Every structure is written in C-alpha cells, then in structure tokens.
Amino acid sequence: MLSYARAKKDPLPPKASRKDTHSRNWNWNFPVGVASIILGVLAMMQFRTQMSTPYLINNYSNSDTTRLIIYSETERNRLTEELDQVKTQLKEAQDLLGETGRKADQETIKLLKDEVDKANMQAGLIPVKGPGVLVKLDDSLQKPAPGEDPYFYLVHDVDIQTFVNELWAAGAEAIAVNDQRVAISTSVRCVGPTIMVNAVRLAPPYMIRAIGNPSTLETALRMQGGVLSSLAQSIAHGVRVDIQKESEMILPEFKGGSAFRYAEPVSAR
Amino acid sequence: MVAFIGIAVGVLVGYLLPFSVPVDYARYVSVAFLAGLDSLLGALRADIEGKYDVLVFVSGFVSNAFLVAVLVFVGTRLGVDLYLAALVTFGVRIFENLAWIRRDLITKRREALQRAREQQAESELQQDGSETTSPPPIPSPSR
C-alpha cells in the first residue's frame, strides 16, 4: 500500500513497466500476502483458544451456582417431608392390617410386624431413645496468628469420624451427629468450610450422641492414647471437646436413601 | 494494502476453521504470531526505505518461526521460560519497526512537500524572469 503511494507521488523513479509489475507481484504481494494470512489465522486461533478455555471452567457464575444449590436443597427438603408422610401412611396401614382379618392371620401379621420393627431398628430407620454419652465439639475461640495454619483451630470431618468409630468400637448401639443418624451409607466429609453428614451440611457445635452403656462409652473416649490424645494439639489450640454422660436421649431416624440398585441378596441357604 | 487484506482473510479463515489450538500449544502460537508480526512490519519498513528483498523477508519469516518453535520446545522441556526471550525480543523489534516506519513516512512526506515547493518556485521563476529576489531558503528536514 505504502509503496504504491510512493510510486504515484514520487516523480523520480521511472514508471513501472510490465515486467516490473510482474516482479513486484512476485516479490511483494505474494509473500507478504501469504505471511499476513498465516498471521491472521494464528491470531484468530489463539483468540478462540483464549475464548474457549475460561468459559469451560467458569461456565456458571457463583450466584448461579448458589441459586442452584438453594433450589436443590429446597427440593430435597420437600421430598424429605413427602417421604415422612408416606412412611407414616405405611405405618398406619400396617397397624390397620394387624387389627382386621382372621385371628390366625392377625397372629402372622403381628409376627411379621415385629420382624419389620426389628429390622427397622437395626437399620436405624426409626427413632430410638436410651442412655449414653453426648460429645460436644466446637471450633476454637482463639484466632490463628497471621500466616498460621488454621488447621488446629477447627473441628474437622476426621475428628467426628474418629469419635464415631471409637463409639461404635466401644459398643454404642445408635449414634447421631447433630440431627443426622449415623447408619448404613452414612458419610462424614468436609465440603469447603462445612462438614456434611448424610449429605446434610452441619454447623458447629457438633453434638455426637451415642446410645449405649454410658460409663463404658465415656471410658472408651477418655482412654489413654485414645481419641482425646489424638486431638491433643487441637485442644491445646482451644478446640472445645466436652464429654458427658446422659441418662436419656432421643436419636432421630436415618433419613437417607436405602435403595439397592446394584446389590442383591445372596440366598445361599 | 496486501498485508491488511491478507490479515483480514486470515482472520476470516481462522474464524471459519472448525478447530482451535490446544491449550498446550497456545504458547507456540502466541510467540509465532509475534514473530510473524515482526517480520511483516520489518518488510513494510524495508519497502518504505527501498531496501526490501523478497529472500530476506521469506527467510526471516521462516527462520524466526522455526527458532521460536525450538525455543519454546526446549524451554518447556528444561522448565526454563525461554519463550520469554523471544517474546521480549520480538516485542521490542515490533515497536522499533513501527517507530522507523513512522519516521520514514514523515520524512518522505516532508521531502515530497519540499520538492513540490521547489518545483513551484522554479516554475514561478521561469514565468516572470524579471524577478530578481531569490525565494526564501527552505530548511532541509532533519531526521
């Protein structure tokens, strides 16, 4: 472009002949054009790469994700209520079944009902009450020094898991963390700053309630080299652990799902 | 003009092409782009200064791209960001070339204006020969 402008305005160089034009094309237009095209393609490709990568990672904004979570939790709560209603209806129907029908049938039904109640109790599907221990765990009130790892100032999922393990090992018959019954398929894990039990977010203080022989359970927890020793560093940083015996506690039923889609019973007998 | 049309065509082709660069090679492309831009601006500058040589341009374009690829490859393998060297070099050269193009253009424009003025003065001188006073001296442009 610029060279053409010069050719027009500059009176000094002679007019370009046919041969000059030809060599001009070959020397300038073709190589520069090709180089420019390559350049453009490179630029566009790079641009597309830049455009595509952040969108893949950050497809949802934070507020979108938050809304999604809130919606899902509302839906979850609604379904839990529905499940409770259905369970109540089932119980009523079972009771009704025991009161009607022939005498022999009633006997059978009563036996079956006892069986079902026992199974439910073992699976943690009905609320239970009894004596036991209450463990209260809470984060430290002290603030970590600037730059200090806050690990030992907080209660972690592993701590709760350790307590639950110890209580089971000491003969606990039923355990609940806050309002979540620890039963089959219970998970205790850390999600961001909160601890989830049975996929429900819990807030400190964490109340671990276990039904069993109170003194046995307490002794197990206070055992030398036991749970409290492994938490010693946290306790030194102000994490509050409080163990007390209770004469009667009520533990809620397990509300999680118990559908078997892959597992099936082996009838070997 | 060819350069601008070429870039426009290239962008269009790149837009229409169905694939983009994998993230691993994004570094190669970014430095190669700078190398190409440097070569192109160098060619423009050389053309304005009347020193353009097709062989110099093409060989420079290819060898720069090649060297850049080698630098990035070796740098990735060694864990040293060698591509930064290429990035800085080409960045500096691009600005340098642009500065020279600007100056060359301004100089050329000045020279053309001066020539036009001289011609006008000459023709005026020829038209009325009785004029005795010489035209005022025109200061030569300084770079």
Task: Give the tens place of pLDDT for each residue, A180-234.
Answer: 898 888 888 888 778 888 878 888 889 999 999 999 888 888 888 888 888 888 8
| In-domain check, residue A217 | yes
- Do A152 and A236 fall within a single domain? yes
What is residue A264's three-state secondary structure? coil
- Do A117 and A150 fall within a single domain? no
Question: What is the per-residue pLDDT for A144?
Answer: 79
Distance from C-alpha of A198 to C-alpha of A205, rounded to nearest angstrom? 17
- Do A87 and A59 fall within a single domain? yes
Selected for mutation to probe chain A from B7, B117, B118, B120 (highest A CB count within 10 Å) is B7
B2 and A48 within 8 Å at the Cβ level: the answer is no
β-partners of residue A209 are A134, A176
- Do A246 and A164 fall within a single domain? yes
Distance from C-alpha of A7 to C-alpha of A21, rounded to nearest angstrom? 12
Band (pLDDT 50/70/90 cuts) for residue B94 is very high
What is residue B85's three-state secondary structure? helix
- Do A146 and A238 fall within a single domain? yes
A201: CATH: 3.30.70.1880
Is there a contact between A169 and A226 (Cβ–Cβ < 8 Å)? no
- Listed range (A47-61, B50-64, B101-115) with the worst mean pLDDT: A47-61
* Domains of chain B by residue range: 22-115
Distance from C-alpha of A86 to C-alpha of A94, rounded to nearest angstrom? 12
Tokens of A248: 């009667």
This prediction's pTM: 0.47
Residue A6 has pLDDT above 80, yes or no: no
Burial class (CB in 10 A: 0-12, 13-18, 19+), B41: buried
Q: Which residues, other chains included, contact A215 with Cβ-Cβ below 8 Å and sequence gap of 6+?
A: A245
Query: Which residue in the set A35, A50, A53 is minimally distant from B39, CB to CB?
Result: A35
Structural domain ending residue among the three candidates A74, A94, A123: A123
Q: How many CB atoms within 10 Å of residue A169?
A: 9
- Do A103 and A152 fall within a single domain? no
Amino acid at A266: V
Distance from C-alpha of A219 to C-alpha of A241, rounded to nearest angstrom? 15
- Do A136 and A247 fall within a single domain? yes
- Do A73 and A26 fall within a single domain? yes
- Do A105 and A57 fall within a single domain? yes
Q: What percent of chain A has pLDDT over 90?
A: 7
| In-domain check, residue A54 | yes
Band (pLDDT 50/70/90 cuts) for residue B51 is confident
- Do A114 and A156 fall within a single domain? no
Q: Which residues, other chains included, contact A140 with Cβ-Cβ below 8 Å and sequence gap of 6+?
A: A152, A153, A154, A234, A237, A238, A239, A240
Burial class (CB in 10 A: 0-12, 13-18, 19+), B25: middle
Query: Which residue in the set B1, B30, B54 is minimally distant from A31, CB to CB?
Result: B54
Structural domain ending residue among the three candidates A77, A93, A123: A123
**Residue in A closest to B61 by C-alpha:** A35
Residue A264 has pLDDT above 70, yes or no: yes
Residues of A in contact with B72 (CB under 8 A): none
pLDDT digits (tens, 9 = 90+) for A91-131: 888 777 767 666 777 778 788 888 888 888 888 888 899 99
Question: What is the per-residue pLDDT for A7?
Answer: 44
Question: What is the per-residue pLDDT for A269?
Answer: 61
Q: Nearest 5°: phi and psi at B97?
A: -60, -45
Mean pLDDT of B64-87: 86
Number of structural domains (chain A) is: 2
Nearest Cα of chain A lies from the Cα of B93 at a distance, in angstroms, of 17
Burial class (CB in 10 A: 0-12, 13-18, 19+), B22: exposed
Structural domain ending residue among the three candidates A123, A140, A175: A123
| In-domain check, residue A10 | no
Is there a contact between B22 and A45 (Cβ–Cβ < 8 Å)? no
What is residue A18's three-state secondary structure? helix
- Do A245 and A134 fall within a single domain? yes
- Do A215 and A228 fall within a single domain? yes
A130: left (phi > 0), else alpha (psi -120 to 50), else beta? left
Full domain range(s) for residue A212: 128-251
Nearest Cα of chain A lies from the Cα of B75 at a distance, in angstroms, of 20
Question: What is the per-residue pLDDT for A110?
Answer: 80
Residue A71 has pLDDT above 80, yes or no: yes
SS3 content of chain A, % helix, strand, coil (to 5): 55, 15, 30
